[in-house]
Amino acid sequence: MAPHSRKTGKKDQPPGTRLGPDEASRSERSSPTPRASAPVAPYTLKRTLTLAAILLAVFVVPSSISGTAVALPAIGTATGADIVPLQWVVNAFNVAFACFTLAWGSIADIVGRVRAFALGAGICAAASLASALVGSIYLLDIARALAGLGGAAIFACGSAILATAFDGPARAKAFALFGTVAGIGVALGPSLSGLIIEGLGWRWVFGMHALALGLVLLAVPVIARNTAHTGRAGARIDVIGSALFILAILLLTTGIVQGSQWGWGSARVIGLVAGTVIVLAVFATVEQRRDDPMLDLSLLRDRRFVGLCLVPVAASFGFVTILTYLPSYLTVVGGYGAGTAGLIMVLLTFPVVACPMLAAALVNRGVSALLLIYISLACLVIGDLALLLFSPTVAIPVVALPMLVTGAGMGLSAGLVDRLALDIVDESKTGMAAGFLNTLRLGSEAIAVALYASLLTTLLTSHIRDGIGDFPGAGDAAAVANDVAGGHTAGATSAIDAGDGGSTAFLDFLITSYDGAFHTVILALGGICLLLFLLIGTLLRSGNHSSVITKR
């Protein structure tokens, strides 16, 4: 199929998808002539520039998500911000991203994917520039929220453009690179941000994002010429449905982010969760009655599609949480410096860079894509549970294999799952499907990271409260737990008299408490991944009554 061609009528079965005998006979009866294999267009300069521009934009978003936290100490020093507005520099981007990704996917199907991609990249670039220039922490929070809104369009529309502009092995390579670059962005975000802060200052972290997205915007005309127009004439944007969905995600993420501060059983948290359920119920009712819904609920009736969309959710709990918080464990419990901890983290991030292309190569050689998905889920479960080997005295070679296995769990499915999920939906709904997939991916990342932090803080507070009475003058257990969870053990021990080894004993107590809380959280993450593995396997098997994904 040439890059500008459009599929018409019933969506063709993906190559490598096995039809049952009934479906095959119906396909033969409905096709007057055999369909020739679609020729694969070569990687022309325009196709290469299209791919490069989208990958550059895709790199900016996850590197912003993982790298912004590194700038928080410098931002706090420069602005004198309190901890809550300072944390919202990160949270505002993540929450806005989670809220708007699905809406952007639906908008892209109506106004055209390239137009929506360009608009989102422009918003993200302008907001990143504003982030580099503002002097108020509250204005910075607003700018980061706008950047998250634009970043949502980049992810939702970028993958939809790849599905439209590329076919066959070229599409396989494009999506493998999509997964690789996203993984590189997550992995290198903290390191790049640290280098930029040391060399140029924290404002240039956001300034570099703006410059990169400026280059992407220059390539938009090339992307437009290489991508068929996908807008639906006469269709209207579902404003009501979009507003309801955004409200539901906002209520849910706010409840989780604030859970450790307000208390998980507090009326405010329970009210937010209950409000989320009510709003989602209203959203589902509204969407069933819309001619052009933001989310066509028929997508969710395809169990294969839902199962594939849950794979990134498992990666969020099994990998992204570890990527975010293992450095703190290495610093607090292991006693490693920031540089050494960063080097150790390469064991976790290297497979994310290497495995997407490895998965694509294996599929091209006939290995079942679905088998690779199952292997990736198994790696998440086994890797997470094996991370229980971590202890204050463990040698890094002992935990090297569990870290590599956990990284492989993320890397093997990155990119591959996007291609499989988008291949089984009608082309006219590709943007919507990509938006839903990335809403679950980034929304679950924000939720998983916030849940990890809240659970760790809750458990750590409980551990410290049980034993802090043995250390007079140590202070409030909750305040000490917050310091330790943030890696500030020096501040937590400063009130203890150093005589007779008091501060050393208190530090050992804090390390033991952190280690115990960490192990409980890791066990919970492994259990969540196992449950998701079983659910995904059930959905993919039960969806195979019509077709089976074998290799793509």
What pLDDT score does 141 carry? 92
Beta pairing class for 547-549 and 17-19: antiparallel
Nearest partner of 47 among 178, 162, 175, judged by Cα = 162
Q: How many CB atoms lie within 10 A of CB 73?
A: 12
Nearest-angstrom CA–CA distance, 196 and 68: 11
Phi and psi of 342, rounded to 5°?
-65, -40
What pLDDT score does 389 carry? 95
Q: Over 50: is that where the pLDDT of 221 sits?
A: yes
Q: Over 80: is that where the pLDDT of 153 sits?
A: yes
Q: Which residues contact 503 (CB under 8 A, 6 or more apart)?
A: 493, 496, 497
Q: Return the sign of the alpha-carbon dihedral for residues 183, 187, 188, 194.
A: positive
Q: Which residues contact 121 (CB under 8 A, 6 or more apart)?
A: 57, 150, 153, 154, 213, 216, 217, 220
Nearest-angstrom CA–CA distance, 83 and 72: 9
Give how far Cα 538 sits from Cα of 304, 410, 531, Å: 9, 20, 11
Q: What is the largest CA-CA distance in the chain?
A: 91
| Phi/psi-derived region of residue 231, left when phi > 0, alpha when psi is between -120 and 50, beta in every other case | beta
The first and second tokens of residue 51, run together, are: 């791919």
Q: Return the sign of the alpha-carbon dihedral for residues 212, 90, 518, 391.
A: positive
Mean of pLDDT values over 343-371 = 87
Q: How many CB atoms lie within 10 A of CB 268?
A: 14
Residue 206 pLDDT class (50, 70, 90 cuts):
very high
Strand partners, 547: 19
Given a contact cutoff of 8 angstroms between Cβ atoms, the answer to whether 323 and 189 are in contact is no
Q: Return the sign of the alpha-carbon dihedral for residues 197, 203, 208, 209.
A: positive
The first and second tokens of residue 237, run together, are: 């944007």
Nearest-angstrom CA–CA distance, 491 and 493: 6
Query: Which residue ranges form the domains of the chain, and what is each CATH number?
Result: 44-232 (1.20.1250.20), 295-552 (1.20.1250.20)
Nearest-angstrom CA–CA distance, 164 and 505: 61
Higher pLDDT, 321 or 490: 321
Q: Which residues contact 511 (CB under 8 A, 6 or more apart)?
A: 332, 333, 392, 489
CA distance from start to end of the chain = 16
Nearest partner of 86 among 143, 129, 141, judged by Cα = 141
What pLDDT score does 53 carry? 92
Q: Over 50: is that where the pLDDT of 459 sits?
A: yes
What pLDDT score does 85 carry? 82
The first and second tokens of residue 57, run together, are: 């934009």
Mean of pLDDT values over 185-197 = 80
What pLDDT score does 497 carry? 57
What pLDDT score does 548 carry? 39
> In whole angstroms, what separates CA 153 from the centre of its chain?
14
Q: What angle do CA 281, 314, 372 make, to 5 degrees?
A: 125
Nearest partner of 171 among 179, 161, 159, 163, judged by Cα = 163
Given a contact cutoff of 8 angstroms between Cβ atoms, the answer to whether 201 and 32 are in contact is no
Residue 440 pLDDT class (50, 70, 90 cuts):
confident
Q: What angle do CA 9, 302, 25 make, to 5 degrees?
A: 50
* Strand, helix or coil for residue 266: coil
Mean pLDDT, rounded, of the chain: 80
Q: Over 90: is that where the pLDDT of 399 sits?
A: yes
What pLDDT score does 1 carry? 38
Strand partners, 19: 547
What pLDDT score does 13 carry? 41
- How many percent of the chain have pLDDT more than 70? 85
Given a contact cutoff of 8 angstroms between Cβ atoms, the answer to whether 411 and 357 are in contact is no
What pLDDT score does 39 carry? 39
Phi and psi of 547, rounded to 5°?
-165, 160
Q: Over 70: is that where the pLDDT of 217 sits?
A: yes
Given a contact cutoff of 8 angstroms between Cβ atoms, the answer to whether 53 and 216 are in contact is yes
Nearest-angstrom CA–CA distance, 146 and 129: 11
Tens-place pLDDT, residues 24-51: 333 333 333 333 333 344 457 778 888 9
What pLDDT score does 404 carry? 95
Secondary structure, 3-state, 339-360: HHHHHHCHHHHHHHHHHHHHHH
> In whole angstroms, what separates CA 347 from the centre of its chain?
20
Q: Which amino acid is at 333?
A: V
Q: Over 80: is that where the pLDDT of 263 sits?
A: no
Q: What angle do CA 156, 62, 384 make, to 5 degrees?
A: 105
Q: Over 80: is that where the pLDDT of 143 sits?
A: yes
The first and second tokens of residue 18, run together, are: 């096995």
pTM of the model: 0.73
Tens-place pLDDT, residues 44-101: 777 888 899 999 998 998 888 777 877 887 888 888 877 678 878 887 888 888 788 8
